[in-house]
Amino acid sequence: MRCAHAVDWVRAAEGELMARLPEGTLMQRAAAGLAACCVELLVGGRQGRVRGSRVLVLVGSGDNGGDALYAAARLARRGARVRAALLAPPERTHAGGLAALLAAGGRTTDDPAEAASADLVLDGIVGIGGRGPLREAALPWVDAAQAGEALVVAVDLPSGVDPETGAVPGRAVQADVTVTFGTHKPGLLVDPGASHAGVVRLVDIGLPVAPEAGDHVVEALQHADVAALLPEPEAESDKYRRGVVGIAAGSARYPGAAVLAVGSALRGGCGAVRYVGAAGADVVRAHPEALVGDGGPADAGRVQAWVVGPGLSQDTDAERAVTEALAAEVPVLVDADGLRLLARRGSAPANALLTPHAGEAVALLAGVGVTATREEVEGERLRYARMLARAYGCTVLLKGSTTVVTGPEGPARVNPTGTAQLATAGSGDVLAGLAGALLAAGLAPRDAGSVAAYLHGLAGRISSGGAPTCATAITAALPEAWRSVIAGDTDDGIPPFR
């Protein structure tokens, strides 16, 4: 599991550690890890070596600049031609770092053309002390670096990305690689910040960051975590013991949503799928395994979890389906039209899992008296997902370029397997059916939501392979995604947090 900690926690943990170590130890650990990563990139890059390669360091006013300067000094000692652009007044530039660089043969520069011709640019403008967008002084340098061929390496965080939220309020560095220290920062794991970070490398500087300690605020599952959560049939299992999921979805106008949700639920690890709604004939034609009823959830017989909402429309039958599913006293996943109806109530049972996209989140927020735009929700997903979870008193899975799953308390989970190819019609219905099956199989709402998002993302990648995909193909790829997780196939192929 990859974990991210809040900035205050990082500062406190660093403070405690620094009190026990000789002065400057942590910065030297950070700089050594950063330099090692740069060496690897330069050796693997167009120069093929460190000696003679051109390195430009962008240096801000704090310790982030200090890290960058000390790392650059190490590269200069190995023969790199290093130039440093000091963006802060001399009295606010890290004195020790600058002295080390100059002693190692580096020089300062005022010429942004250095950024255009560099092989590697180190962004030491600002780290966890950063607030707001890049400032004026940095822009010509960053513009030149991004237009040139250089690999851009962000120190701790891409400057301009909010460390806590991943918000990008204006201009920010677009990094190829981010080398972060001690622990991930939330802003590296959540879009839009995650999209600016490139590949994230973590350098251990000795902070006590074990997930078991529970000090982190954000976590991202990996294959092994998901494998440990997947339901497995036992020798004594029968279809009822494995769990039955009820699906109340689809309408005369949108029968396809029902077909898709049932299709993914059938591949989601429970024992049986019951369908109720107006699309029974379509469902049974596509999936003869489904148990189809023509009443509402209250008439359906026993299930261990409900999925209500995909393609349901918002008429009186839909309202009845939502009311009955919510009253069933089993975990209930509410999606799509179900969310619009739920917004009118302004609350949900504690064992509910709400799966809005940003637009539906806006409607849910309005239901509890909060005005926000879609862009605001997408700009600060962690904050709004948490706000919804607290207001409705249940678990929320906020879909998007980084899907976030969170309850009212505890760390938020962010999904690392997403791909833009998942933004296709019916994809949300597939996710809902899959998560519902996992709920019925006994996973808690947070686990069901995050495991479903993980498998759904992998299936999207498998079915796409870079080409456009569709909801039916994503469903068909679910078994392969599942197998790759239990086989422990490496997840290195997943660009971190994309």
List residues near ligand NPW by CB under 6 A: 11, 14, 18, 26-27, 30, 60-64, 67, 125-132, 134-135, 155-156, 181, 205
Stretch that binds K ion, among 38-46, 148-156, 285-293, 488-496 (CB under 5 A): 148-156
39, 217 contact by CB (below 8 A) = no
Give 30 or 154: the residue with its C-beta nearer to K ion: 154
Tell me the closest approach of the beta carbon of residue 282 to ligand NPW, in angstroms. Answer: 54
Measured CA to CA in angstroms, residue 458 lies from 18, 38, 437 at distances of 41, 30, 17
At 190 the three-state DSSP class reads coil
Residue 26: which of K ion, ligand NPW, none does it interact with, CB under 5 to 8 A by kind? ligand NPW
Out of ligand NPW, K ion, none, what residue 123 binds, judged by CB under 5 to 8 A for its kind, is K ion
Joined together, the tokens standing for residue 312 give 């349901």
Of 67 and 225, CB closest to ligand NPW: 67
**Can you point out the beta strands (E) in 8-80?**
54-59
CB of 62 to ligand NPW, least distance (A): 2
- For residues 39 and 46, give the distance between their C-alpha atoms in angstroms, rounded to a whole number: 12
Question: What is the identity of the amino acid at 3?
Answer: C
Sequence-separated (6 or more) residues with CB below 8 Å from residue 172: 133, 134, 158, 159, 160, 161, 193, 196
CB of 123 to K ion, least distance (A): 4
Shortest Å distance, C-beta 178 to K ion? 8
| Partner whose binding site includes residue 63, from ligand NPW, K ion, none (CB under 5 to 8 Å by kind) | ligand NPW
> Is 399 within any annotated ligand binding site?
yes
Backbone region of residue 129 per phi and psi (left: phi > 0; alpha: psi in -120 to 50; beta: other values): alpha
160 is known to lie in a ligand binding site: no
Q: Are 367 and 344 within 8 A, CB to CB?
A: yes
Instruction: Based on the shown chain and the rule CB under 5 A, indicate whether residue 421 belongs to the binding site for K ion.
Output: no
* Nearest distance in Å: CB 168, ligand NPW: 11
Burial (CB count within 10 angstroms: exposed 0-12, middle 13-18, buried 19+), residue 368:
middle
Does 162 bind K ion (CB under 5 A)? Our answer is no
Asked whether the beta carbons of 322 and 309 are under 8 A apart, the reply is: yes
Residues 219, 211: contact at Cβ < 8 Å? yes
Binding residue (CB under 5 A) for K ion from 14, 67, 123, 447: 123
Task: Specify binding-site residues for AMP.
Answer: 399-403, 428
Which positions touch K ion (CB under 5 A)?
Answer: 123, 154-155, 159
Task: Specify binding-site residues for (6S)-NADPHX.
Answer: 63-67, 127-133, 156, 257, 311, 357, 429
